Structure 1
Amino acid sequence: MGGFDVQVFSAGRGRCRRGPGRALRFLRHDAEGRGVGRYGGRLARLVLGAREAAAASVPSSAPVPVTAEKVRDAFAGLQATLRDSCTPGNCAYFLGRVYDELHRTDRAMKADPQGPGHFSEPIALIKKLDAQLGGDRSFENLKSHQDALIGTRDTINTWMQGHPEDYR
């Protein structure tokens, strides 16, 4: 891959820079499926250059290898929810994000080279939460199970704090 444009956000405005792939620290995908990360300490979005965009739009017959997310990166996303709460204008987003971050952490733990057995307690907590939610991710259901959702997040945070070798 030759290069890409990075849209760096500063005071609500974006600008593009050309840079190598390793300069952008990947965090997550945005709503459009583009990579969002950190570039020079600022929030940035990966925007493929014209050549890469054309190549990306052509389906490939070869499978693309998928790399598993590291537990520490997923856990950082979960920890980021600790500073937030369910406020009237933010509750649906907050509860949905906690749910998403728990499942992101669950996927990372299951894919970790140490094996899912190493993370059996947090994985079991998420499985128990999923049973309580009954597969319903709607805001109304998350709101009615808010205590279980936040309790699961807090318990996993405490467990991870007791296992610093897994996220540092």
Structure 2
Amino acid sequence: MAGLKEHIFLIGFMGCGKSTNAACLAEMTGARQVEMDQMIVENEGMAIADIFKEKGEPYFRELETDLIKSFAGVEPAVISCGGGAVLKEENVRLMKECGKIVLLTAEPGTIYERVKDSTERPVLNGNMNVGYIEELMEKRRPKYEAAADVRVATDGKTAGEICGEILEICGK
């Protein structure tokens, strides 16, 4: 089990497999797994939906930036980023300074099947349908693609296959 040379930041739309593959990569490499959204929830003592509602999205995005800054100079980890973390150019720059950014992709129908029963997706509340997901994905796609060092499609693949691909490309 080889460790990582640098952080691996998993980015992509909600439901594309960031958490699942972060756990798999951590297991395969022995690196620590970090769930950015979960850390923010723990640090703030409230759910993301409540942070959005009570303090607003800009406040939440600032929490993401502060968290990304905290990864500089620490032992390489596998970091699952929130779906909107790369919407801020500062976050992308900070990630690239200390790691590789891996964009996980999936078709809108696949995303819908993975997230349709979730109540933890504030940006989809009231819009849980393939058409809206496709529209939002398309809106974010240029930012995701501009940020990515590597792209890996997740449709129809196991976590082991996806993580093998990531490690082959990023090196260990």
The answer to whether the superposition gives a TM-score over 0.5 is: no
Select the structure with the greater relative contact order (CA < 8 A; seq sep ≥ 6). 2
Please identify which structure carries the higher strand content: 1
Q: Larger Rg: 1 or 2? A: 1
Q: Give the TM-score normalised by structure 2.
A: 0.28
Q: TM-score when scaled to structure 1?
A: 0.29
